[in-house]
Amino acid sequence: MLTVGQALEGSARRHKDKPALIFGERQLTYRQLNERANRMAHAFLAQGLKPGDRVAMLLPNGLAMAEAYFGLAKAGLAGVPINLRWQPGEILYAIQDAKVSMMLADRELAPMLNQAAGAMPVFYTGGYEDGARDWDAICDAQSSESPAIPVRETDPWVIVYTSGTTGKPKGAVRSHFSNIIIALSLVSELGITPHDVGFAILPMFHVNSMWFVTLSMAVGATCVIYPHRAFHPGHVIQEMNDHKVTYSMFVPSLLTFLADAVEQGKIDPESLRVMMTSSAPLDSTLRDRLIRGFPNVELYDVYGSTEYGAATTIRHELGGILGSVGYPAIGQEIRIVGENGESVPPGTVGEVYIRGPSLMTEYWQNPQATHEAFTPDGFLTVGDMGYLTSDGVLYLVDRKKDMIIVAGENVYPTEVENVLLSHPSVALAAVVGIPDPRRGERVVAMVVPREGKTVDVPALEELCRNELADYKRPFVIDVVEELPMGPAAKVVRRLARDAWLKAHPNG
How far is 103 from 82, CA to CA, in rounded Å?
Answer: 10
Q: Closest Cα to residue 93, out of 161, 10, 14, 4?
A: 161
Q: Could you report the per-residue pLDDT of 383-439, keeping only the tens digit for each?
A: 899 999 999 999 988 777 788 988 777 788 988 998 999 999 999 999 999 988 777
Give the SS3 label for residue 132: helix
**Comparing 29-174 with 231-400, is the CATH topology the same?**
yes
Domain 231-400 top-level CATH class: alpha beta
Candidate from 164-173, 250-259, 260-269 with smallest mean pLDDT: 164-173
How far is 350 from 360, CA to CA, in rounded Å?
Answer: 22
Q: How many CA atoms lie within 13 A of 334 on its CB side?
A: 31
The secondary structure of residue 2, as a DSSP letter, is: -
Sheet holding 440-449, edge to edge: 426-436, 440-449, 476-479
- Is 29-174 CATH 3.40.50.980? yes
Tell me what the mean pLDDT of segment 257-278 comes to: 93
User: For residue 293, how many other CB atoms are within 10 A of its CB?
Assistant: 17
Where are the chain's structural domains?
Answer: 29-174, 231-400, 403-503
What confidence score (pLDDT) does residue 507 get? 72
How far is 300 from 493, CA to CA, in rounded Å?
Answer: 25
Q: What is the 3-state secondary structure (H, E, C) of 410-431?
A: EECHHHHHHHHHCCCCEEEEEE
How far is 62 from 21, CA to CA, in rounded Å?
Answer: 9
Q: Could you report the per-residue pLDDT of 20-74, keeping only the tens digit for each?
A: 999 999 999 999 999 999 999 999 999 999 999 999 999 999 999 999 999 999 9
CATH domain 403-503 topology: GMP Synthetase; Chain A, domain 3 (3.30.300)
Supply angle C-alpha 105, 108, 111, rounded to 5. Answer: 85
Inter-residue contact 351 to 344 (CB < 8 Å): no
Q: Could you report the per-residue pLDDT of 199-244, keeping only the tens digit for each?
A: 999 889 988 889 999 999 999 999 999 998 877 888 999 999 999 9
- C-alpha distances in angstroms, 69 versus 79, 207, 424? 7, 12, 41
How far is 149 from 185, CA to CA, in rounded Å?
Answer: 27
| DSSP E strands, 107-206 | 122-125, 156-161, 171-175, 197-200
Res 280 pLDDT > 90: no
Q: Closest Cα to residue 323, out of 254, 415, 443?
A: 415
Q: Could you report the per-residue pLDDT of 90-109, keeping only the tens digit for each?
A: 888 899 999 999 999 999 88
Res 253 pLDDT > 80: no
Give the SS3 label for residue 46: helix
Beta-bridge mates of residue 29 = 19
Q: Could you report the per-residue pLDDT of 346-357, keeping only the tens digit for each?
A: 999 999 999 999
Res 281 pLDDT > 80: no
Q: Could you report the per-residue pLDDT of 128-149, keeping only the tens digit for each?
A: 888 888 999 999 999 999 999 9
Q: For residues 123 and 89, which has the higher predicted lDDT (pLDDT)?
A: 123
- C-alpha distances in angstroms, 455 versus 261, 421, 449, 460? 21, 11, 6, 8
Beta-bridge mates of residue 478 = 446
Inter-residue contact 20 to 30 (CB < 8 Å): yes
Confidence of residue 120 (pLDDT cuts 50, 70, 90): confident
Which amino acid is located at 312 in the chain?
T
Tell me what the mean pLDDT of segment 152-177 comes to: 86
Give the SS3 label for residue 280: coil
How far is 247 from 481, CA to CA, in rounded Å?
Answer: 31
| Furthest-apart CA atoms within the chain: distance in Å | 69
Q: How many CA atoms lie within 13 A of 328 on its CB side?
A: 19
Helix, strand, coil % in the chain, rounded to nearest 5: 35, 25, 40
Res 167 pLDDT > 60: no
Beta-bridge mates of residue 448 = 428
What confidence score (pLDDT) does residue 165 get? 42
Confidence of residue 152 (pLDDT cuts 50, 70, 90): very high
What confidence score (pLDDT) does residue 406 get? 87
* Residue 199 φ/ψ, nearest 5 degrees: -135, 110
Res 293 pLDDT > 70: yes
